[in-house]
Amino acid sequence: IEEKDIAALKERAGIILENIIRSDDIRLTPEIKEKLIAELVDEVAGFGPLEQFLRDPQVTEIMVNGPGSIFVERHGKMEPAGIAFESEQQLMQVIYKFLEPTRRRVDEAFPYTEIALQDGSRVNIIIPPLSLDGPVVTIRKFLKSIRTAEDLIKLGTLDNRMRDFLVACVKAKINIIFSGATGAGKTTTLNVLSSYINADERIITIEDTAELNLNQRHVVRLETRHPTIEGRGEVGIRELFLNSLRMRPDRIIVGEIRGKEAFDMLQAVCSGHTGALTLLHASSPQEVIYRLEAMILTSGMPINVEAIHRLIAAAVNVIVHEEQLADGSRKITYITQVNGLKDAQAACEDIFLYDQEGIDAAGKVKGSWKATGIIPVFYPLFAKRDVNLNKEIFKQD
């Protein structure tokens, strides 16, 4: 809802509240009146008690563990929200309001789902009987303040050399996997770096829940579909990916690979669909390799382990690994290249890494990014694709 509309609603709510006060001879302080007006507007036009946190730029996550338990994340640290829903019914009304513009639902047949708000924030919902203490809502907000690689530098996510390298990789259509745990910041980093894709490219994004927010002029957004109540009509990441190959893409971005689509994506990259960008949950760059191997092995494809690693080595150029550290900060801790095979396995080589030296008295992580001295094996591609990148940035620290 627009700010001007909120202002108009507040004015109207103030008039209504003033009339009620006069007719019932109620005496309220100006502070209480203002609070009641804000709550009324949030309930009618927003998402009830959660609205104030959705508007607060300092809040990055909102966690509702039932009507009486709400936590928020500020500056990477969790804290009680200090508010509660009046009842489970009020919480469910907010949930239905979240779901209203989408094709998703929650009920006994489908007691959990995930959606995206208009601003790109991701909302996960799970209700009883699966959640024992009432409906649970987890919101990861889309941070409008983080739009460029310079914004990531200001946040301490990476340094200038890493920015130059990753922006050059995106422009040169180098294949990149962004890895990390849930909440590490990899989607935000992917979203920022996607903004450096050439404006003339036809970009197709494929996601379970639409979170990416690209501003280029030629973008096609695809989202998976859940099955109907009869169990029909489901369309997954793999089906959308295979279809996207027939849509004349210059660039395919997959929100997250989890299963059979891993094999299809690696095959597509090897057949000429370069510049692929995707996310994968993993605890380290090496773990990315093992997870890809496991996904392909469990997909039922008739392919042995050595062939899988040859495929990975041929398709994946760079792994960007991000972590949330002990002080709540989010940093890219490894930028790693995949350089051929070693002992029949895809070989990982760190190009940049974050060297954590310790934690100071204030609880802040101390450390620095370092170049390992390794020059990417694909470095000649930058010149071939008319992308300037000074080789000096790889000089060992």
* Structure confidence at residue 226 as a pLDDT band (50, 70, 90): confident
> What is the rounded average pLDDT of the residues 209-222?
91
Is the distance from CB of 155 to CB of 330 less than 8 angstroms? yes
pLDDT tens digits for range 243-281? 999 999 999 999 999 999 999 999 999 999 999 999 999
**Hey, which CATH number is domain 47-142, 3.10.20.600, 3.30.450.90, 2.60.120.620, 3.30.750.24?**
3.30.450.90
Which pLDDT does position 227 carry in this prediction? Answer: 83
Indicate if the pLDDT at residue 3 is higher than 60.
no
pLDDT tens digits for range 190-204? 999 999 999 999 999
Indicate if the pLDDT at residue 48 is higher than 90.
no
* Structure confidence at residue 28 as a pLDDT band (50, 70, 90): low
Is the distance from CB of 136 to CB of 130 less than 8 angstroms? no
Which pLDDT does position 109 carry in this prediction? Answer: 85
Residue by residue, DSSP assigns 39-93 as HHHHHHHS-GGGHHHHH-TTEEEEEESSTT-EEEEETTEEEE-S---S-HHHHHH
Question: How far, in Å, CA of 177 to CA of 253, rounded?
Answer: 10
User: Which letter does DSSP use for residue 130 in this model?
Assistant: T
pLDDT tens digits for range 342-360? 999 999 999 999 999 999 9
Which pLDDT does position 264 carry in this prediction? Answer: 94
Question: How far, in Å, CA of 367 to CA of 333, rounded?
Answer: 11
Indicate if the pLDDT at residue 1 is higher than 60.
no
Length of the chain: 397
Q: Rounded to whole angstroms, what are the CA distances from 371 to 28, 154, 352, 353, 391?
A: 63, 20, 5, 7, 12
CB contact set of 208 (below 8 Å; sequence gap of 6+): 114, 223, 224, 237, 255, 256
**Six-digit token string for 284:** 């380290």
Backbone phi, then psi, for 213, in 5-degree steps?
A: -130, 80
Which pLDDT does position 90 carry in this prediction? Answer: 93
The segment(s) of the chain belonging to CATH 3.30.450.90 are: 47-142
The segment(s) of the chain belonging to CATH 3.40.50.300 are: 149-394
Q: What whole-number percentage of the chain has pLDDT above 90?
A: 73
Which pLDDT does position 38 carry in this prediction? Answer: 63
Strand runs (DSSP E) across 127-180, as ranges?
A: 136-140, 176-180
pLDDT tens digits for range 51-110? 889 989 899 999 999 999 999 999 889 999 999 999 999 999 999 999 988 878 899 888
Nearest residue to 118 (alpha-carbon basis) of 102, 136, 94: 102
Mean pLDDT over each residue of the chain, to the nearest integer: 90
Does a cis peptide bond (omega within 30 degrees of 0) precede residue 101? no
Which pLDDT does position 102 carry in this prediction? Answer: 86
Is the distance from CB of 255 to CB of 238 less than 8 angstroms? no
Question: How far, in Å, CA of 206 to CA of 212, rounded?
Answer: 9
In 3-state terms, what secondary structure has residue 361? coil
Burial 50-69, CB ≥16 within 10 A → b, else e: bbbbbeeeebbbbbbebbee
Question: H/E element holding 309?
Answer: helix 305-315
pLDDT tens digits for range 278-301? 999 999 999 999 999 999 999 988
Q: Rounded to whole angstroms, what are the CA distances from 325 to 72, 180, 188, 279, 364?
A: 18, 12, 16, 19, 9
Q: Which residue has the higher pLDDT, 210 or 345?
A: 345
Question: Within a 13 Å sphere around the CA of 188, how many CA atoms are in the beta-carbon half?
Answer: 28
Fold (CATH) for 149-394: Rossmann fold (3.40.50)
Which pLDDT does position 127 carry in this prediction? Answer: 97
